[in-house]
Amino acid sequence: MKTMHNDPDMLEEYDFSKGVRGKYSKRYEEGANVVVIDSDIAEFFPDHDSVNDTLRSLVAIMKKRNPKLAEQ
């Protein structure tokens, strides 16, 4: 596989001739929250639902330990 001379991560066979610039940019602007977690942690979370469930559980514990957080 040959790579592009100006970008070693791009292969020559990639064809963007029918691509649409900014196709999803409006949707992204409306609300996207991307968080990258380390690989040693990611192995415990197969999908976004498992991450959200775990964080909700953690928030519940935090609220029990600190009543001021429960007001938020």
Q: Does some domain include residue 68?
A: yes
Q: How would you class 16 by CB atoms within 10 Å of its CB: exposed for 0-12, middle for 13-18, buried for 19 or more?
A: exposed
Q: How would you class 48 by CB atoms within 10 Å of its CB: exposed for 0-12, middle for 13-18, buried for 19 or more?
A: exposed
Quick check: 2 pLDDT over 70?
no
Q: Residue 10: what pLDDT?
A: 80
- Does residue 18 sit in helix, strand or coil? coil
Q: Does some domain include residue 65?
A: yes
The tens digit of pLDDT for each residue in 22-71 reads 998 888 888 778 888 999 999 999 998 999 999 999 999 999 999 888 77
Q: Does some domain include residue 54?
A: yes
The angle at the Cα of 55, spanning 38 to 25, to the nearest 5 degrees, equals: 70
Residue numbers of the domain that contains 53 = 39-72
User: What's the total number of domains in the chain?
Assistant: 1
Q: Does some domain include residue 9?
A: no
Q: Does some domain include residue 49?
A: yes
The pTM of the full predicted model, rounded to 2 decimals, is 0.53
Q: Residue 1: what pLDDT?
A: 62
Q: What distance in Å separates the CA atoms of residue 36 and residue 40, rounded to the nearest whole number?
A: 12
Q: Does some domain include residue 70?
A: yes
